[in-house]
Amino acid sequence: MLKNTNLVKQLAVNAGFAFCGISKAEFLEEDAPRLETWLKSGFHGSMKWMENHFDKRLDPRLLVPGAKSVISLMYNYYTPQKQDDTAAPKISKYAFGDDYHAVIKDKLFNLVEQLSSEIGEIDGRVFVDSAPVLERSWAAKSGLGWIGKNTMLISKQAGSFYFLAQIISDLELVADQPIKDFCGTCTACIDACPTEAILPNGVIDSNRCISYLTIEFRDEIPQKFQNQMDNWAFGCDVCQDVCPWNRFSKPHQEPLFGPNPKLLALKSEAWFDITDSTFDQLFKNSAVKRTKFKGLKRNLEFLKPEN
Ligand code: B12
Ligand code: SF4
Ligand code: SF4
């Protein structure tokens, strides 16, 4: 078991994942009431899909029959690069380059293939933001970090500008232990959130979160958020930018996440004049495509100074 565990961790590092932690595939007992309360409070807003597969979301053995372990992985996306025009509508740095779903999924498939060739055929399903898996809870359970008041999974060594991914498999592996919470008395994220979306108990009300409003929410953005959006056109990095644990973030080494130079160079006025074809050039393989041209345009209209 230890030999396979070490092999998994070594291959994960070789594949470019910064950290890898292991948990036993079991029912997430402590998360069940948290998730239930979050949903009952309506904090998922219009993301009705969050109500689906409640039991599977809490027990990986229902999602992947025969599952024995959950392998949690972290992939760095931090970049110090910023958009040139400081007055331009902002795009979250996770969406500067190619869509992480595709980039990371390829790496996960390769990793499972390599594991199979080293260990023998394994049944391993890969997940990155695409299925009913409580990714942060698994990452915390496997000791990769703690869940901060901003609800991000934070690594003590490396901060929170990391995507999470999971391999749920029938491999028996040695589980890692969770670590303690290092937020202490800090409340920087709660204080800085432009729309007061982080409740004092470290729960996000998506209905107020700029990330939700600009990416997931399909209707008109409610007028009460006028002048509160901090100029974000897609996603929001505020509760991570202010987190002291991100002070020492190191740039990622993933060429596919390299910012599109045209995106960084776009001036404020040009953003507001954006056309369908500029959108396609700027966001060819990007996660921004999730909002489609129409969604981004809605966000930009909302940010327009005279609005
Ligand atoms: C829905 C969703 C959102 C929603 C809701 C956010 C939320 N806080 O739930 C919205 C659209 C707002 C959103 C925004 C963002 N998201 Co998002 N999102 C998700 C998604 C699909 C599901 C999250 C979920 O299940 N929420 C339900 C709540 C109840 O669960 P939770 O927040 O995970 O909380 C659980 C744990 O925190 C745990 N918990 C709470 N306290 C404690 C304490 C301890 C000690 C322990 C052990 C556990 C624990 O209990 C909760 C319930 O079980 C995940 C992918 C996935 N499948 O997990 C990505 C994911 C969480 N998002 C991610 C990212 C990057 C973002 C943004 C930064 C994007 C951006 N720049 O705009 C923002 C950050 C906003 C924020 N501060 O959360 C990453 C987070 C990576 C990380 N290092 O944590 C994920 C994991 C995607 C990925 N694969 O990388 N997101
Ligand atoms: S992503 Fe932005 S709006 Fe959402 S909780 Fe963090 S700071 Fe607040
Ligand atoms: S800003 Fe402070 S309170 Fe918020 S997650 Fe980071 S350390 Fe925790």
Convert 145-171 to b/e letters by CB count within 10 Å (16 or more is b): bbbbbbbbbbbeebbbbbbbbbbbbbb
Measured from CB, residues less than 6 Å from any atom of ligand 3 are: 148-150, 183, 186-189, 242-245
Give the three-state DSSP class for 101: helix
User: Taking every pair of C-alpha atoms in the chain, what is the biggest distance, in angstroms?
Assistant: 63
Give SS3 for 21. Answer: strand
210 alpha carbon – ligand 2 mean position (Å): 6
115: left (phi over 0), alpha (psi -120 to 50) or beta: alpha
Q: How far is the CA of 270 from the centre of ligand 3 (A)?
A: 35
Ligand 1 atom nearest residue 38's Cα: 29
Number of neighbouring beta carbons within 10 Å of residue 115: 22
Closest approach atom of ligand 3 to CA 190: 4
Q: What is the pLDDT of residue 305?
A: 80
This prediction's pTM:
0.97
For the chain, the residue count is 307
Q: What is residue 154's predicted lDDT score, i.e. its pLDDT? A: 98
Q: Which residue positions in the chain have pLDDT lower than 50?
A: none
Are 64 and 123 in contact by the 8 Å Cβ rule? The answer is yes
Q: How far is CA 234 from the centre of its chain?
A: 14
pLDDT at 290: 86
